[in-house]
Structure formats: structure tokens, C-alpha cells
Structure 1
Amino acid sequence: MTPTAATAGKRERTKAHNRRAILDAACEVFSEMGYDAASIRDVVRRTDLASGTFYNYFPDKASVFHAVLEERTQELRRRLRAVRQEETTLDAVVHLGFHVYFSFIVEDRPLFELLRRNAGTVQTMFDTPALEAGISELFEDLSTLAERIELPPAIDLDYLAAAMGGVAFELGIRLIEQPEPDVERTARFAGELFLGGIARLAG
């Protein structure tokens, strides 16, 4: 390896380390203090970085919050897509999809605490890339399923994806606010709500 390549490799590792440190600190701070009360200074204090280093990676507090949310939901989106692409019936896709979603946000403690402490903030940021991507992926998977099982034309898949995403998010917020979150009950309620509505529209 040439000196130039070695220097470049070290620089990239340093950048990755610094970004990782900021994201980890931000997740802790937002979970403990809440988005509104937290400041960039609070985040930087949880790292060993100079205060100005933050701005080499994120322009403001909102951008690092979005990045934390994006990272924390990547695995959730992967699991949801796996279920939707493996199952062959609408019943299974709907029920299992909701169950995977609610189970994940309860079991992933960093995400659980982040959402619980910042529910209102996340609700006002529903158009963040992470959440928009989840809705887009749901629409794609529903479209593929519709081709296999021939859903009636009356079922607007764009509306359906948006509605399922919105209900999952809102019920998820209520779920994590419970002293003892009941995933089974919440997933069953959401599943029956949509399957019943779809049956009515199809009829």
C-alpha cells in the first residue's frame, strides 16, 4: 500500500469512527432528554470530539435526528420486506407484517426509548426519508402481491400502503406508552381492521 493510499484509508476510518460516535451519542441524548430539550452541544459532550467536528458530518440537530431514525429502522424495514415477499396470501402479509413491526419496536430498546421519548417529534417528521422509504417499500410489495392474487381494482394500493403505514406508526406509539406493551393484541387489532376494510371494499 502506498503512503497516499494508507493516509486515505486512515482518513476514511477516522471519518467513520467520528460519525459513529456522533450517532451513538445522539441516540442516547435524544432518548434521555428528548429532541426539543437536547442541543448539539449535549450530543458533542458525549463524544471525545471537538465541538466543530459535528458540522463536518451533520448541518444541524434535525439532520442527525433523521440519521439516527434512519439507522434504527433499517433492520425493521429489512424484516418487513422479508415477510411480505415470502408470504403468498394477503391475510398473512397483513397480520405478520403488523406483528413484525410491533414486535421489533418493543424489542429494540434503543428504538423503543427513542420513539417513546420523541413520539411527538417523530409525528411531525412523518415525511422523513426513513419513514417515506418504508411506505414506498410497502407499496411495492403490495403491488407485487396484487399481481399474484388479483386484488380487486377497488383497492387503491397507494391509499392502502399510506393507511397501513400511518396506522402502524400511530398504534406503535400507543403501544410503547403502555406499562406492559401487548404486541399480540395490537397486531391483531390492526390486521383485522385492514382485512375487514379490504373485504368490504372488495365486496
Structure 2
Amino acid sequence: MLDTASLGKRERNRLNNRKAILDAARDCFRETGYEQTTIRDIIRRTPLASGTFYNYFSDKRDIFIALFRDFLEALRTLIRSAHDTASDEHDLIHRMYSSLFLAAAKDPVTYELAHRNSQAVRELFGSDILDLAMASMDTHIRSLAANDRLPGQDSDYISAACRGVAYEVSLRVAERARQRPQMADEEARRATEFVVGFLYSNPFDGSKHQRRRA
């Protein structure tokens, strides 16, 4: 995180103004929707003069890009911390799911907006939001599956299933956190425990099915 105390007054003002615009835009997008929000709506929620907006952003799309970049940086910070503090592979997967769900819960408006505009995200960043979030986790899940440390035999199916679960559950986390922001941390924790519990509960083991058919 940038240490604003070491910056000059002018630069601090610029950072504060930019943050005020982004915070106002996020609130407007949450309450009114991205398409319906106007630049005038955003500026009205700040103490800034109307022309100030264009000193920082060119249009709404520019704001979306800035919000998403800030979201990605927060997510990458959480994922780096997960890598640095995990005690083993199992703990790493737990912490990485937690990173994704916590980021979604902390900024649900940006997360949902990125999902609804996945094509734009791909064009701007080269991948959609889940690819950006899951790339590192996917490597570890495949490694565990290949070494028979997760139930099942097919690492491709396990990876696809884990990705699908992360996709759907992260959206539910964002939706619940948006509706009840005071429960954001709790929703992220509950989602993490659910997904990791599912992952290690042998959902990919086909032996029971095979025995029933025999």
C-alpha cells in the first residue's frame, strides 16, 4: 500500500481526489447499475467540481478499468500472502480460495461488474477474472491430483470442477456481501470452509457408483 504520508501535498490531493471519484462510482454502480450511472451522478457524490473528473478519468469505462486494476492488486496481495504463509499444499489451496472469496466480499460491486463484462476484461487484461485469480491455484490442484493426494484420477476434471465451484461460489459471496456488507468477512470464511470441505470429501471418487452398478 502506498504511504501517502511521504508524498507532497499536491500528490496527496490527487490521490484523495481519485479515491473519492472511485468510491463514488462504486456506490453509484451498486445502487443504480453501471449502465444507468452517469458521470454527473458520480461527481455529485464527491465534494469535487464537475470538471475535476476529467483530470483523472476520460469516461465510465476508464473508471471500470481503474476499479478492476485496484481489485486485482488487492487480490494479488492476498495470493502472495497465501504463498508466503502456507504450511503445505493443502493449506495453500485453503488460503488461495480464501483470498478469492475475501477479495470478492470486500469489493463485490467490482467483482460482479467484471463478471458481467468478461469479454471487456479479456480484451483489456488478456484473461477473464477467474483465469487471473485461479492460474496459480490451478497449478497446485493439478499437482495434488497427479500425486494421488486428492480423490480421483483425472486432474483435468478435478481442475475444471474446482474452477467451476470457485466461479459460482465467488459470485454468491459477492452477492451476499453486497446485500449485507457487515457480513463480508463471515461470508468469505463460510464459502472457503464449504469449498475446501467439498474438495476433500471425495466428490470425484467414482468407486461407489461403480459398486452400485456391479
Q: Bin the TM-score by the shorter chain.
A: 0.5 to 0.7
1:151 aligns with 2:146: yes
- Percent of residue pairs bearing the same amino acid type: 25
What's 2:70 paired with?
71
Q: Name the TM-score, length of structure 2 as normaliser.
A: 0.60
Question: What's the CA shift string for 1:154-198, capped at 9, x where partnerless?
Answer: 424985775465234223235436767654543233223444578
Deviation at residue 85 of structure 1 after TM alignment: 4.3
TM-aligned CA distance change 1:102 to 1:195, over 3 Å: same
Q: Relative to structure 1, is the Cα distance of residues 84 and 10 closer, same or farther in structure 2, using a 3 angstrom cutoff?
A: closer
The answer on whether the counterparts of 1:41 and 1:51 sit within 8 Å (CA) in structure 2 is yes
Q: Which has the higher contact order (CA 8 A, sep 6+)?
A: 1
- The residue type equivalent to 1:189 in the other structure is F
Counterpart residue number, 2:150: none
C-alpha RMSD of matched pairs (Å): 4.1
The normalised TM-score by structure 1 is 0.62
- Contact kept? 2:146, 2:155, Cα under 8 Å: yes
Q: 1:187 aligns with which of 182, 187, 192?
A: 192
* Partner in structure 1 of residue 3 of structure 2: none
Task: Work out whether 1:139 is the aligned partner of 2:135.
Answer: yes
User: Closer, same or farther in 2 for the Cα pair 1:35/1:137, shift >3 Å?
Assistant: closer
Shift in CA distance, 17/82, structure 1 to aligned 2, threshold 3 Å: closer
Gaps of 5+ in 1: 1-8
Q: 1:124 aligns with which of 99, 116, 134?
A: 116
1:120-157 CA-partner distances (Å, limit 9, x unpaired): x443123534984663354235436866x683594249
- Work out whether residues 75 and 100 of structure 2, in 8 Å CA contact, stay in contact via their aligned partners in 1: yes
C-alpha distance in 2, partners of 1:132/1:169?
14
Aligned to 2:58: 59
Tell me: CA distance 1:70–1:131, structure 2 relative to 1, closer, same or farther (3 Å).
Answer: farther
Shift of 1:45: 1.9
